[in-house]
A and B are shown apart, each in its own frame.
Chain A
Amino acid sequence: MDKANLLKLLDRVPYAKTLGIQLTGDPERCLLPARKSNIGNPTLPALHGGAIAGFMELSAMSLVLQHTDAERVPKVVDYSVDYVRAGKFCDTHSRCELVYLGRRMINVRVSAWQEDEASPIAMARVQFLLKDTPW
């Protein structure tokens, strides 16, 4: 799927709008602008771990869509995230790496960071299953 079609698809995904994820010129990189609705801890303040996880999952999904002919949102079989630093209330970036692209299974590694790419706030891996019908 090219970027124009991906933008059109993402525009129709309400959850992507709820988080506020943005694509960049690089298919491997996405941006999550600081937004109050993603805060989980108002005292620090810090982003909700679930919002960071959702952002990373969507980032991986957009990379997969740009690498395949899939016209629909691919299914996630399993997802694992390691949190290493608190997500501050500021812009968050993601970078995805396509680890394995098979006919049925796709594995993507994702890291999320804020000020410095070398100091991630979380790392994740996502296993996708490509199938026309769900499960």
Chain B
Amino acid sequence: MAIDYDEFRRFMDVMITSNKGDHFNTLGLRVERVDQRGVCMSMGYAEGLIGDPETGVIHGGAITALLDTCSGFAAATALDDLGMTPTIDLRIDYMRPATVGRMVYADAEVYRVTESVIFTRGIAHHGDFERPIAASVGNFFRLESSTFDELRREFRESQRQHRENGRG
């Protein structure tokens, strides 16, 4: 069974927006696109992300968190059903500083899936893949699908209630 991308997109939105003040919220991460090619997320320029006070360039750690999150969700699109994929390891190459004031995008894709490991690669950019800010390679755990039975049940139940309320 392959995942339903529309449902997965809603799942991602709930994960990154439902907890006010968590790290997703703090970084201002948003989902841009989810399909068979992978996942695209964005992170707006914000003062709280600045790493170099002289230039106003955002810190590499924020780019790392964006790529980790985006690659992790991309990995989860390779699962049979909704679920999460803990990060095993992540390598980031920083190629140029992010431009001050501009939105940063991350695009991540899966290039190999094995029984226990999902291999991903990603790029952080401002809209032009030819001018990457950073490139990443990340490996993620593929846990037993049953690990997320409860999470799925809760998510689908809340979605069902949401739809019914919407109609009411």
Tell me which residues from 89 to 133 in chain B have a Cβ below 8 Å from any Cβ of chain A.
89-94, 96-97
Cα(A40)–Cα(B53), bound, Å? 26
Secondary structure type dominating chain A contacts: mixed
Tell me which residues from 34 to 86 in chain A have a Cβ below 8 Å from any Cβ of chain B.
36-43, 47-51, 53-55, 57-58, 72-73, 75-83, 86
Task: Count residues on chain B whose CB falls below 8 Å from chain A CBs.
Answer: 43
| A-B CB pair tally, cutoff 8 Å | 130
Contact: B49 with A18, CB < 8 Å?
Answer: yes
Min distance, Cβ A82 to any Cβ of chain B, angstroms: 4
Which residue of chain B lies nearest to A72 when distances are taken between CB atoms in the complex? Answer: B54
B residues touching A (Cβ–Cβ < 8 Å)?
Answer: 18-19, 21-27, 47-55, 57-62, 64-66, 68-69, 72, 84, 86-94, 96-97, 151
A-B contact pairs, 11 of them (CB 8 A): A13-B52, A13-B53, A15-B59, A36-B21, A48-B23, A48-B68, A50-B27, A50-B61, A54-B61, A54-B65, A57-B60
A residues touching B (Cβ–Cβ < 8 Å)?
Answer: 9, 12-19, 36-43, 47-51, 53-55, 57-58, 72-73, 75-83, 86, 134-135
